[in-house]
Structure formats: C-alpha cells, structure tokens
Amino acid sequence: MNATQAIAALSALAQEHRLAAFRLLVEAGRDGLPAGQIAERLAIPNSSLSFHLTQLSEAGLVQQRRDGRSLVYSANFAAMNGLTAFLTENCCGGESCAGDAAIGPVTGEEETAA
C-alpha cells in the first residue's frame, strides 16, 4: 500500500456513516450484509448509503457480490490489514509506536506515488 492508497482508505473510513457501515461489515464477517440491511441499521436513505458504499468500495475496503436481488457487501480484511500495516510502518516509525519514541527515523522514499 502506498501513500495514495492509504489516503483513499483513510478518507473512506473518516466519515461517520462509512465507519459505522464498515464496522457492521467487520462484525458480519465473511457472510457480509445486504445493502438494505446496512441502510436500515444505520437509519439512512438507501441512496445515501449507496454513495458511501461506493466510496468504501473504491478505496478497496469492501467488496460486493450479488445474491438474488440483494447486493451483499463484505469487508476486505486484507485491505484493512494493509492500512494498519502502512500506518504502523510509516506513521509509527516501524514499531508499535508505543511510548518511549526515540524511534528510528523512517527515512524511506519507497514509493513513487500515483
């Protein structure tokens, strides 16, 4: 994951409804949840939710599959893992970024951006 992808993922999660939706999908695990149920649980209009699911999807954080007339969304755990890895590596100095923080400089310039 490069900085551009990380920003996309961070932006996607940095919104009340999208974070809530994503947490619901994490909770739901592999099975996922149909869009309608997410909208209902979040108490927002379908069209609004659809907008947010598109954002999450474009950021690569969720995936879609059809089941009858329902579109079932599920969390992409690998992408989420990639995000936390990026944050730990680039924004914590490599370690769990815990307390003491002399923390080795992360001189990296590993990505050519997009």
Partner DNA sequence: GTGTTATTTCGAGAATTCTCGAAATGTCTT
Partner DNA sequence: AAGACATTTCGAGAATTCTCGAAATAACAC
* Residue number with CB closer to DNA (17 or 79): 17
Q: Which does 55 bind (CB under 5 to 8 A by kind): DNA, its own copies, none?
A: DNA
Minimum distance, C-beta of residue 45 to its own copies, in the bound complex (Å): 21
Q: Binding pattern to DNA, positions 8-47, x when CB under 7 A?
A: ---x--xxxx----------------xxxx-x----xxxx
How many residues can be counted in the chain? 114
How many other CB atoms sit within 10 Å of the CB of residue 32?
Answer: 22
| C-beta of residue 25 within 8 angstroms of C-beta of residue 75 | yes
Tell me the CA distances in angstroms from 88 to 16, 66, 96, one per residue in order. 23, 35, 6
List of residues contacting its own copies (CB under 8 A): 3, 6-7, 10-11, 13-16, 19-20, 22-23, 26-30, 75, 77-78, 80-81, 83-84, 87-88, 90-93, 96-99, 101-103, 105-107
- Residue 50 binding result from DNA, its own copies, none, given CB thresholds of 5 to 8 Å by partner type: DNA
Closest approach, Cβ 91 to its own copies, in A, equals: 5
Distances from the Cα of 36 to the Cαs of 61, 68, 69, 71, in angstroms?
Answer: 19, 13, 11, 8
Distance CA 114, CA 110 (A): 12
